[in-house]
Chain A
Amino acid sequence: MTLFNARVTVTLKNGVLDPQGKAIEGSLSALGFAGVEQVRQGKVFAVTLNADSKKSAIQSLNSMCEKLLANTVIEDYAVEIVA
């Protein structure tokens, strides 16, 4: 077993309205940040887990996303091993 540090990013799917992202976008413009095209808000999970291999760690994380971390009706997810 090896200890892996993973980062799971969950974001709203394209086409799903993100009013929080919109509000942040408006606030950035108000602060004078020019050129901001779009802001989409999401969630990041730092998961530390034991697994036999990097491959099985990723499999397990994908399954966590499907079952709990993301609501795949409205959200996409990305899994990445950081260490």
Chain B
Amino acid sequence: MKTTVIIFPGSNRDRDMIAAITKISGHVPKTVWHTETELSSTDLVIIPGGFSYGDYLRSGAIAARSPIMDALSNAATQGIPIIGVCNGFQILTEAGLLPGALMRNAGLTFVCREVKLEITNANTQFSSRYGQGEIIRCPVAHHDGNYFADEAVLKKLEDNSQVVFRYAEGTNPNGSINDIAGIINEQGNVLGMMPHPENLIEDAHTGDDGRRLFESALGLVA
């Protein structure tokens, strides 16, 4: 299983992601710097959280125009699984690989806490180890996580069951429309989510609800 983590100037959850993947899969992921132009053979690409380019212009906007993004876009077209967490989700929407946009949190403050997520589509390669409708714990830490899409896009997302994770009732931390916490693209191989599953994978994290996401994506037996 070959995994790749893309790193941008200002990424800061890359080490958490590398540690999680290494612990879960037994393999150390390859890291690729944003100025590179190729993603050599890989089975899974991850864009970690952080504040690429200091969130200048808009969160993820500058990173989404980095040299590596053409290769990422090609990988997406080829059906290679891609996960963007937090800033990674922002970058994927800015790059047009996922629909919608992530705006300033409705409460205007940075939120760093645990939320509950409902698995609203367990029939994806990223969520197959969860039960449909299952409620899991997951940490969030962001300032711009307020998911927005216009009515037409939203209808399409809902009709196609592209909403994979929703903030469970009463835990929406940022005002996201339809309580959306994570979505996949139409093809089903690109996932973006604001919460951090990599920060809840073992006892030291007080739980491992995030672990099954990686087990699903890595095709590991639970």
Contacts and interface: CB of A to CB of B under 8 A. Distances in A.
Interface of A (DSSP majority class): helix
A19 B107 CA distance: 7
Interface residues of B, number: 19
Interface stretch (A30-38, A54-62, A68-76): A68-76
Contact of B101 (A20, A23, A68, A74): A74
Contact of B104 (A20, A69, A73): A20
Interface of A: 16-17, 19-20, 23, 67-69, 71, 73-74
26 contacts: A16-B103, A16-B148, A17-B103, A17-B106, A17-B148, A19-B104, A19-B106, A19-B107, A19-B108, A20-B104, A20-B108, A67-B65, A68-B57, A68-B61, A68-B65, A69-B57, A71-B58, A71-B61, A71-B101, A73-B93, A73-B99, A73-B100, A73-B148, A74-B101, A74-B103, A74-B148
A74 B175 CA distance: 15
Contacts, number: 34
B94 interface: yes
A44 B198 CA distance: 37
Interface of B: 57-58, 61, 65, 93-94, 99-101, 103-108, 148-150, 175
Contacts of B65: 67-68
A1 to B, nearest CB: 25
A54 B161 CA distance: 47
Given A19-B105, A71-B61, A74-B101, 20 more contacts: A16-B103, A16-B148, A17-B103, A17-B175, A19-B106, A19-B108, A19-B175, A20-B104, A68-B61, A68-B65, A69-B57, A71-B58, A71-B94, A73-B99, A73-B100, A73-B148, A73-B149, A73-B150, A74-B103, A74-B148
